[in-house]
C-alpha cells in the first residue's frame, strides 16, 4: 500500500454537516450545492491509506458509517442507494481520553475496539526525558538552515530548565520556542536568563498536572462549570418565583377577607346605633346599674355574631352593598374598598350571580 494514495484528514476541521460527503462522497443533487458527483476519500483512496487525525471529534452518525466501512468495506454515498466497496487502510490518532469519551457517550465503544487493533501510545513531551534536548538540537539545525543563521545551543543550566518545564504544547511548543530564540536572540548560546524570556513561568505551565482519583468529578473546561452554575440558578429562580406567587395570592385573599369583615362589622354597629333609642340618665325608673347605649348594642349583636362565621359576614356585606347600589358592581366594589376582580370572585364564590 505504500505506493498507493495517502490522505491525511483532520476530522475536527470538517463541519459536521459536510463530513459524510467528504469521507464517503455524494450523488448529484443530494443537497443544495451538490452540482456534481463526488467519490469521497474512501472512494479515491481505494487500495491506499487514510489517516484520520482527531478521530475523537467525529459525530455519532459518521461513526456508525465508519464502523460499517471498517467491518465490511461497504459504504453508500450521501443521497445514493448503490452499495460501493473499498479497500482502505485506516490509521487514526487523537488526543482525547477515549475511555472517558466512551463513558460519556461521545464515542462508540464498538468503533473504538475496531480501530484499536495496533495501539501506539505517544507519551507527552514532559515524560520523554532526554528526547527534549535531542528534538531541540534537531529544530535548532532546521531553523539555522531556514533563516541562514548560526545554530543556537544551550548551557547546562538551560538544559536543566528545559527538562523541568511541563511543555503543555508538547513538540509544537518546543519547535515554536526554538524558532523564536533562533530569530530573536542575539546570543547563540542560550542561558537561563534568555530562556526565561521565551518560556512561560506561570505555575500552571511549570507544575505537573494532578491526576484525579477514581469516582471524583473533574471539570476540564470553564464552560462545564458555567453550565452547571447557570443550571442551578435557573432552578432556584423558578422555585423562588413559584413561592412568591403563592405567597402573594395568599396575602391578597387574606387582605380581601379582612377588609370585607371589618367593613361589615363597622356598618352593622353603625346601623344598630341608629335604631337604639336615646336613654336619659336622669330617668328615675332606671337603676344605677343600667347599661349604657354602647353596652346595649353589644348585647344585642352578640348572639348574632356568635351564629355567623367569616364567610356569612362577607356574603351579607356583599349582598347589602349590591342592594344599596342597585346591582352596580363597580360602585359596590368601591364602597367595600376592594377591586372589581375581587368582588366578581366573591359574587361567584357566594353564588350571588345566580340570583
- CATH code of residue 76: 3.40.50.300
Element (H, E) at 278: none
Residue 233 within any structural domain of the chain: no
Q: Of 82, 115, 148, which residue constitutes the final position of a domain? A: 115
User: Consecutive 10-residue runs of the chain (355 residues): their mean pLDDT?
Assistant: 90 89 90 85 93 93 92 91 92 91 93 91 88 94 93 93 91 94 91 89 51 48 68 72 81 71 57 49 47 47 48 79 84 84 82 71
Q: Is 192 exposed, middle or buried (0-12, 13-18, 19+ CB in 10 A)?
A: middle
142 in Cβ contact with 174 (< 8 Å): no
Element (H, E) at 83: strand 83-85
Residue 158 within any structural domain of the chain: yes
Q: What's the CA gap between 56 and 1, in Å, rounded?
A: 25
One domain, residues 155 and 91 = no
For residue 229, the model assigns a pLDDT of 74
Instruction: Pull the grid cell for residue 74.
Output: 461497504
**Structural domain of residue 327, as residue ranges?**
241-273+290-354
Q: Of 206, 232, 260, which residue constitutes the final position of a domain? A: 206
Number of folded domains in the chain? 3
One domain, residues 93 and 156 = no
One domain, residues 189 and 171 = yes
DSSP 121: -
For residue 223, the model assigns a pLDDT of 65
For residue 321, the model assigns a pLDDT of 85
For residue 224, the model assigns a pLDDT of 66
Per-residue CA distances from 39 to 152, 222, 312 (Å) = 48, 41, 86
Residue 269 within any structural domain of the chain: yes
Instruction: Pull the grid cell for residue 53.
Output: 487525525
Residue 250 within any structural domain of the chain: yes
For residue 310, the model assigns a pLDDT of 60
One domain, residues 57 and 140 = no
One domain, residues 15 and 106 = yes
Q: Of 93, 115, 137, which residue constitutes the final position of a domain? A: 115
For residue 191, the model assigns a pLDDT of 92
Q: Report CA Rg, the chain.
A: 44
For residue 312, the model assigns a pLDDT of 72
For residue 345, the model assigns a pLDDT of 83
**Helices 340-350 and 310-324: angle between axes, nearest 10 degrees:** 110
Q: What is the pTM of this model?
A: 0.50
Amino acid at each position: 500500500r505504500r505506493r498507493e494514495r495517502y490522505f491525511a484528514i483532520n476530522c475536527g476541521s470538517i463541519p459536521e454537516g459536510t463530513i459524510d460527503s467528504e469521507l464517503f462522497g455524494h450523488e448529484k443533487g443530494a443537497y443544495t450545492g451538490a452540482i456534481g458527483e463526488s467519490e469521497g476519500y474512501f472512494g479515491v483512496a481505494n487500495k491506499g491509506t487514510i489517516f484520520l487525525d482527531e478521530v475523537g471529534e467525529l459525530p455519532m452518525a459518521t461513526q456508525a458509517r465508519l464502523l460499517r466501512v471498517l467491518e465490511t468495506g461497504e459504504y453508500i454515498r450521501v443521497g445514493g442507494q448503490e452499495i460501493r466497496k473499498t479497500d482502505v487502510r485506516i490509521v487514526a490518532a487523537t488526543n482525547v481520553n477515549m475511555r472517558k469519551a466512551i463513558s460519556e457517550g461521545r464515542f462508540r465503544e464498538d468503533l473504538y475496539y475496531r480501530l484499536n487493533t495496533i495501539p501506539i501510545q505517544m507519551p507527552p513531551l514532559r515524560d520523554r526525558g532526554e528526547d527534549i534536548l535531542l528534538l531541540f538540537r534537531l529544530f535548532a539545525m532546521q531553523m539555522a538552515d531556514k533563516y541562514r543563521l548560526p545554530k543556537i545551543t544551550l548551557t547546562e543550566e538551560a538544559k536543566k530548565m528545559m527538562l523541568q518545564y511541563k511543555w503543555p504544547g508538547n513538540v509544537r511548543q518546543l519547535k515554536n520556542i526554538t524558532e523564536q530564540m533562533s530569530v530573536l536572540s542575539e546570543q547563540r548560546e542560550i542561558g537561563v536568563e534568555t530562556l526565561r524570556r521565551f518560556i512561560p513561568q506561570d505555575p500552571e505551565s511549570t507544575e505537573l498536572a494532578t491526576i484525579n482519583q477514581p469516582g471524583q468529578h473533574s471539570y476540564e473546561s470553564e464552560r462545564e462549570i458555567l453550565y452547571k452554575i447557570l443550571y442551578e440558578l435557573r432552578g432556584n429562580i423558578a422555585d423562588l418565583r413559584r413561592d412568591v406567587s403563592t405567597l402573594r395570592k395568599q396575602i391578597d385573599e387574606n387582605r380581601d377577607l379582612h377588609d370585607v369583615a371589618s367593613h361589615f362589622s363597622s356598618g352593622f354597629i353603625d346601623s344598630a346605633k341608629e335604631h337604639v333609642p336615646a336613654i336619659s340618665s336622669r330617668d328615675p325608673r332606671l337603676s344605677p346599674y343600667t347599661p349604657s347605649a354602647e353596652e346595649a348594642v353589644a348585647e344585642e349583636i352578640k348572639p348574632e355574631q356568635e351564629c355567623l362565621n367569616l364567610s356569612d359576614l362577607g356574603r351579607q356585606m356583599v349582598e347589602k352593598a349590591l342592594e344599596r347600589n342597585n346591582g352596580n358592581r363597580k360602585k359596590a366594589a368601591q364602597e367595600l374598598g376592594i377591586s372589581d376582580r375581587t368582588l366578581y370572585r366573591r359574587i361567584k364564590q357566594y353564588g350571588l350571580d345566580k340570583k
